[in-house]
Structure 1
Amino acid sequence: MENVIEFHGVSKSFETFSIDNIDLQIKQGYTTGFIGPNGSGKSTMIKFMMNLLQPDKGKVSVFGLDYATHEKEIKNRIGFVYDSNIYYESLNLKDISKIVAPAYKQWDNKQFNKYINQFELPLNKSIKNFSKGMQMKASIAIALSHNAELIIMDEPTAGLDPTFRRELLDIFQEFMVNEGKSIFFSTHTTSDLERFADYIVLVDKGEILFHQPMDKLQEQYVLVKGSTDLLDRDTEAHFIYIEESQGIFQALSKDAGEVQKVFEDHVVIEKASLDEIMFYMKSAHRNGGN
């Protein structure tokens, strides 16, 4: 099995938003970062992966299986971390673990208690009295305690302090040491993905703008800064999107060598961060580029 998740011609229409004919293949054994602005369709696509929402047309498969005939098997092999609490707020973690454990064939109570201790979570305190960060840690502990083959996460580091975020990424890297394990990671904290993801999917307004290896993105995309006097129809063609302010332009390009050749030492060329790539690609998509 080469792909752990596959979308084939997936479409869904809502009153103010639509996803149209999406094709997407997520490789098994890698960490895929899923980025895009709010309202871009990320949560909708994650709901398709979890069978919480069905497309109007097209097909979604997980582990090469479809939900129509293999829902229990698929969900048994997935660990899911949502961006808000999905458990009964009146229950404590001890009770929740007793309810959740029978649903998974490979639930590991020893592993669960290890994460509870590591994350310093109280077993006998009601979830409703947990902070947002504590609720997220609880979801992560449960997701990692049943030998899941695929972890799907929607904003898993929301509400977590930077120190714990770093610790959490180390835990995910340990998880990925096991051959065949996969992570699909939706987040606005792109700095986490820069040190952790193998692939990046950028989505905007229900369209996939790119799906590329992280190292290729870091090699290809550059931010170029210079005087607007340097811009004309020919030179602008080397950029994906250009911003201008007070006689200075800043633009995203995929070809540092060509930009260097055209502008020589009249511009400053810097590596573009994932945040900058997302911003300029989204702007180009919404404004038709330059």
Structure 2
Amino acid sequence: MSNLLEIRNISKSFGNKTVLKDVTFNVPSGSIVGFIGDNGAGKSTTFKTVLGLISKDRGTVKIFGKENLNKHAKSKEEIGVVFDAMNLPAHLTIKQLNKVFGKLFGSWDQDNFYRLVNSFSLPIDKKVNKFSRGMSMKLSVAVALSHNAKLLILDEATGGLDPSSREELLDELKSFVSKSNGGILLSSHIMSDVEKIASHLVIIKDGEILLNEEKNKVLESYAIVDIDEEQLTLLNKDIVVAKRDCGSYFSVLVSDKQKLLNGITAKTISIEEMSVFLTRSEK
């Protein structure tokens, strides 16, 4: 499986504050990578660095195998981007936006755009600045899905949507990947969305990647065990991902519950529980 996006050891500081520390992960073709982390963890800075909106201090970013995205106009057209704050011209209507994007993108798909607009129940003659946040996010996703992009970079794209609208949008994202063999990098605070559609998980804390794994492996092999200090010393160190000192016992996240000692009971874990555990634990 080829990688649409390869991020290698990117680091970024603003003054004395380091916001990214050797961040490394891929977005393979045919994958949806759930990018998880608290506010301020480094998700948006990673996105902006990938897109060349801010400079990185070191490391490499390759999109479709190429560095320096700004030098490759054709490649830029093959990327669909949705940020938490909408970046569409606020004074235009959907009908007017369609004409603008028809001239802007050589591969603009008007039929698909209007299909999505109708599916998302968006008014075509209403100015964008009159849209609710949820409507604005749906419009941004409709645009991103309508110029034959290969890679989607979505920052909180399901924010502000009711459960029914989120379900509909997630179905469109899954359909995009299955039909085009494209890839999606998706950040979201809604763990049920990530768990529903992601094929890979990347968890970031304080600018550092804590987990980079296929979702199925996490759900099948990862677990939490509550053990005493003696059991902790006997535990295979290779499977310890993170631990928390709970006073009278230790709570430990392990990457392979099959390698646990007899007598230790493993608790299955959801993506949300694992995310919270990792971001509040010792490495």
TM-score, normalised by the number of residues in structure 2: 0.89
Task: Tell me how far 1:279 sits from its aligned partner.
Answer: 1.4
| Corresponding position of 1:5 | 5
Q: Which runs of 5+ in 1 are unaligned?
A: none
Q: Distance in 1 between matches of 2:115 and 2:234?
A: 55
| Corresponding position of 1:47 | 48
Three-state SS of the structure 2 residue aligned to 1:261 is: coil
* Residue from 235, 242, 258 that aligns with 2:244: 242
CA contact (8 A) 1:76 1:103 kept: no
Q: Distance in 2 between matches of 1:128 and 1:155?
A: 19
Task: Tell me how far 1:71 sits from its aligned partner.
Answer: 3.3
| Corresponding position of 2:172 | 171
Task: Tell me how far 1:190 sits from its aligned partner.
Answer: 1.6
| Corresponding position of 2:68 | 67
The farther-off stretch of 137-146 and 93-102 is 93-102
* Residue from 270, 278, 281 that aligns with 2:278: 281
Q: Distance in 1 between matches of 2:268 and 2:169?
A: 27
Q: Which amino acid aligns with 1:271?
A: T
Q: Percent sequence identity over matched residues? A: 33
Q: Distance in 2 between matches of 1:209 and 1:237?
A: 23
1:137 to 1:69, Cα distance in 2 relative to 1, 3 A: closer
Three-state SS of the structure 1 residue aligned to 2:244 is: strand
Three-state SS of the structure 2 residue aligned to 1:117 is: helix
Task: Tell me how far 1:109 sits from its aligned partner.
Answer: 0.9
Task: Tell me how far 1:125 sits from its aligned partner.
Answer: 1.1
1:211-250 map, 5 Å? 211-224=212-225, 231-235=228-232, 238=235, 240-242=242-244, 244=246
1:206 to 1:163, Cα distance in 2 relative to 1, 3 A: same
Q: Which amino acid aligns with 1:256?
A: K
TM-score, normalised by the number of residues in structure 1: 0.87
Task: Tell me how far 1:249 sits from its aligned partner.
Answer: 6.7
CA contact (8 A) 1:67 1:74 kept: no
1:223 to 1:140, Cα distance in 2 relative to 1, 3 A: same
CA contact (8 A) 2:201 2:212 kept: yes
Task: Tell me how far 1:132 sits from its aligned partner.
Answer: 0.6
CA contact (8 A) 1:12 1:56 kept: yes
1:29-48 map, 5 Å? 29-48=30-49
Task: Tell me how far 1:31 sits from its aligned partner.
Answer: 1.1
CA contact (8 A) 2:243 2:250 kept: no
CA contact (8 A) 2:202 2:213 kept: yes
Task: Tell me how far 1:101 sits from its aligned partner.
Answer: 2.4
CA contact (8 A) 2:4 2:63 kept: yes
CA contact (8 A) 1:83 1:156 kept: yes
| Corresponding position of 2:151 | 150
Task: Tell me how far 1:58 sits from its aligned partner.
Answer: 2.4
Residue 183 (structure 1) aligned with residue 184 (structure 2):
yes
| Corresponding position of 2:14 | 14
CA contact (8 A) 1:241 1:283 kept: no
Q: Distance in 1 between matches of 2:223 and 2:59?
A: 36
Q: Distance in 1 between matches of 2:3 and 2:249?
A: 44
1:237 to 1:143, Cα distance in 2 relative to 1, 3 A: farther
Three-state SS of the structure 1 residue aligned to 2:35 is: strand
Three-state SS of the structure 1 residue aligned to 2:33 is: strand
Q: Which amino acid aligns with 2:88?
A: Y
1:110 to 1:249, Cα distance in 2 relative to 1, 3 A: same
Q: Which amino acid aligns with 1:275?
A: E
Q: Distance in 2 between matches of 1:183 and 1:258?
A: 33
Q: Which runs of 5+ in 2 are unaligned?
A: none
Three-state SS of the structure 2 residue aligned to 1:7 is: strand
Task: Tell me how far 1:35 sits from its aligned partner.
Answer: 0.7
| Corresponding position of 2:162 | 161
CA contact (8 A) 1:4 1:28 kept: yes
CA contact (8 A) 2:222 2:255 kept: yes
Q: Which amino acid aligns with 2:279?
A: K
1:11 to 1:199, Cα distance in 2 relative to 1, 3 A: same
Task: Tell me how far 1:70 sits from its aligned partner.
Answer: 3.4
1:41 to 1:237, Cα distance in 2 relative to 1, 3 A: farther
Q: Distance in 1 between matches of 2:11 and 2:256?
A: 33
CA contact (8 A) 2:27 2:183 kept: no
Three-state SS of the structure 2 residue aligned to 1:114 is: helix
